[in-house]
Amino acid sequence: MNYTDGYTRTCGLIGNPVKHTMSPLIHNSLASMTGINMVYVPFEVKEKELKNAIKGAVALDIQGMNVTIPYKTDVIPFLEDVDPLAKAIGAVNTLVRTENGGFKGYNTDMTGLYHAMQDEGIELKDQTVVILGAGGVARPTAFLCANKGAKKVYILNRTFEKAVDVADEVNLALELNDSDEKVVPMLLGDYRKVLESEDSFIAIQCTSVGLFPDVNSAVIEDEEFYKKVSSAMDLVYRPLQTKFLKLAKEAGARTFSGLKMLLYQGIDAYELWNEDKGIKITKDQADEIYRSMMLEVVGASNIVLEGFMGSGKSTVSELLSEELMLELIDTDEVIEDTEGRTINEIFETEGEASFREMETDLLEAIDSDHWREFVISLGGGMPVKEENRELLRKIGKVVYLRAKPETIFERVKDDDKRPLLKTEDPLAKIKDLLEERAAFYEDVADMIIDTDGKTPLEITKEIIDKLGL
Ligand code: NAP
């Protein structure tokens, strides 16, 4: 929680709607990471109130604002100054307070997209780029590509006139004359003309097609198109894996969601607001916020792995935490560390019921202390108690690693640290216990992964894929 007092710097977002914005997550996390006494608040502003909102923001000494749909262009007349690049683009998304008591507008959508591309290793110089769409975000995208040395930029749009407008504006602003034909407008349905004249290109998806809940659509569905895509970036980030990205991936392209652009447009804005304090966000800080944003998009505070002993939870949770750069918690290990005894010893001295109580206490602590952004590997019996299942639903997305009894037996038969298997016929015991527990695992699971015959890496990749990360 951000600390506030009489010195707190206030920044915010104006737009309509703003209810689902991720900007407070970005900026309030940056403030707490960099030790800046700042809070960031979204403001839903009605169209007729836009001018008053800007005047009011000055009066309230608000230091910086983001501007989102539908005001990125409409806000310009109310600004004291506009950065030349933003002026050329004709849209601003970041306002910074000036000394004269007004705001100066910038376009960090463009710089943010550039930083995201740099971070992902996408090189624009001498490349052909196909931009799908000619709306608000296609405009800075086209400017960026032309400005950073792309050989040719095609703008394909359903409404041809809009593609022409954007192409003309970019060509004019960058003083490219007609003979250069650097930015070329085209009707979306004519995309095959691009395929005829280009061997390979970067495709940047700037339409709203594929945006949640319309997740099964892509603006072009023809496989032939994707065969020529080297890198594909979808500026839509809900869901992270859009149909456009899936088609591009299947055709062998490198794929990137728009979430990093969102992150970096925020970082660039934050650095502008705090220029007086010399704030520069490090790669590690950016990565940390990116992880929070990814989990926010998939609606998970934590990723929780459940399953019977030998289902692969320990290995898979380690791989998952490495792959997603999230910290790992193994509930059995936490209990052993807290108690200073092994689980075997707890079972022998206090019995299973007492151990189960300890598990519930731990889940309650995770829930009430709001532990977030962990991969949590659960003890095998944890979901049996209804109380635990209720807590599990609150603390994250639960992934059930399912395995057949024979597979489990093969995996654990030589492990003498398993108290429940200290029996004459461990396979029969596994079958009994599994039958008893399977319904509980399934009841609480957000997703079930069958692990028989799969390597831990394959299982990890399947989880990441199914989570849409
Ligand atoms: P916009 O100004 O409303 O433009 C929408 C674009 O999508 C237009 O080119 C429109 O074509 C096209 N389109 C809409 N429905 C279509 C359909 N059924 N078939 C073909 N084309 C269609 O929106 P925007 O501000 O450019 O934003 C577009 C998307 O980018 C948003 O949905 C948002 O998710 C994403 N975005 C991401 C970031 C980020 O930071 N990652 C930032 C801004 C936006 P017409 O011109 O023919 O109508």
Pair 102, 124 in one domain: no
Instruction: Judge if the beta carbon of residue 185 lies within 6 A of ligand 1.
Output: no
Pair 124, 61 in one domain: no
User: Which pLDDT belongs to residue 420?
Assistant: 66
Instruction: Judge if the beta carbon of residue 356 lies within 6 A of ligand 1.
Output: no
Q: What is the CATH number of the domain that holds 403?
A: 3.40.50.300
The domain boundary, picked from 291, 311, 335, lies at 291
Closest ligand 1 atom to residue 208 Cα is: 32
Pair 305, 402 in one domain: yes
Indicate which residue's Cα is closest to atom 40 of ligand 1. 262
CA of 434 to the centre of ligand 1 (A): 49
Strand order in the sheet with 327-330: 327-330, 374-377, 303-306, 397-402, 447-450
Q: Which residues of the chain have pLDDT under 50?
A: none
The total number of structural domains that make up the chain? 3
Q: Domain limits at 443?
A: 299-467
Pair 312, 430 in one domain: yes
Pair 192, 153 in one domain: yes
In a domain, 1, yes or no: no
In a domain, 76, yes or no: yes
Pair 52, 84 in one domain: yes
The pTM (predicted TM-score) of the whole model is: 0.82
Pair 159, 182 in one domain: yes
In a domain, 279, yes or no: yes
Pair 361, 396 in one domain: yes
Q: What is the CATH number of the domain that holds 39?
A: 3.40.50.10860
Pair 343, 428 in one domain: yes
**Run of H or E including 110:** helix 108-120
Interstrand relation of 397-402 and 447-450 (parallel, antiparallel or unpaired):
parallel
CA of 146 to the centre of ligand 1 (A): 20
In a domain, 230, yes or no: yes
CB atoms within 10 A of CB 81: 14
Pair 157, 230 in one domain: yes
Indicate which residue's Cα is closest to atom 1 of ligand 1. 135
Indicate which residue's Cα is closest to atom 46 of ligand 1. 159
Pair 186, 152 in one domain: yes
Question: Could you report the per-residue pLDDT of 135-175, keeping only the tens digit for each?
Answer: 999 999 999 999 999 999 999 999 999 999 999 999 988 77
CA of 196 to the centre of ligand 1 (A): 26
* Ligand 1 pocket test, candidate residues 157, 204, 208, 243, most atoms within 8 A of CB: 208
Instruction: Judge if the beta carbon of residue 157 lies within 6 A of ligand 1.
Output: yes
Whole-angstrom distance, CA of residue 459 vs CA of residue 369 = 30
Pair 208, 282 in one domain: no
Residue with tokens 């991969």: 375
CA 33 to chain centre: 19
